[in-house]
Amino acid sequence: MINAIILVFIGGALGALGREFLMLGVPDPSDGFPMPIFVANVVASFLLGLITGLHQRRAVTDDVNTLVGTGVMGGLSTFSSFVYGAVVVMGASATGMTVALAYLAASLLIGYAAVWTGYRLGLRGAA
């Protein structure tokens, strides 16, 4: 088995870079909804579900699961920017509270649907 420390470090670095590029490439809507973080979190949830399902039926090795699941998806998704962004958006404008609550609710619901769908696909082997 490859040293897990190296796998987690390299995966986390790649994931964080992917999030950085999403922050640069995904446009922010005018109402302040933090779209880049939302996209990073939903995509990472789907892919983490997928790799977990694949790993559970032994379609990927432990090393791949550590590299991609623990490393890349942990690095791509973020909770700190998720909640801090919501706090900033809340106080930013008159409609900020509504936008922040919609952001929190959409992230939780769509993120959960994403991890659920990814996991099912991974278990079935349809992906």
Partner 1 sequence: MRPLDVMWVGLGGGAGSLLRWQIGRLVGERYHGGFPLGTFLINVSGAFVIGYLSVLFSVDWRDRFGAPLNAGVLTGVLGGYTTFSSMQLDALKLSNAQRATTAIAYLAGSVVAGLLAAAGGAGLARWQG
Cβ proximity to partner 1: between 26 and 59 the closer is: 26
Cβ proximity to partner 1: between 41 and 60 the closer is: 41
30 among annotated binding-site residues: no
Cβ proximity to partner 1: between 39 and 59 the closer is: 39
Q: How far is the CB of 4 from partner 1 (least distance, A)?
A: 8
Token representation of residue 26: 């995904």
Identify the helix (H) or strand (E) that includes residue 69.
none
Q: How far is the CB of 56 from partner 1 (least distance, A)?
A: 11
The dihedrals phi and psi of 121, each to the nearest 5 degrees, come to -60, -40
74 among annotated binding-site residues: yes
Rounded CA-CA distance 42/77 in Å is 8
Contacts of 61 (CB under 8 A, 6+ apart): none
Cβ proximity to partner 1: between 83 and 95 the closer is: 83
Rounded CA-CA distance 94/98 in Å is 9
Footprint on this chain of partner 1 (rule: CB under 8 A): 4-5, 8-17, 19-20, 23-24, 28, 34, 41, 44-45, 47-49, 52, 70-71, 73-88, 104, 107-108, 111-112, 114-116, 119
Rounded CA-CA distance 90/98 in Å is 8
* Annotated binding-site residue numbers: 74, 77
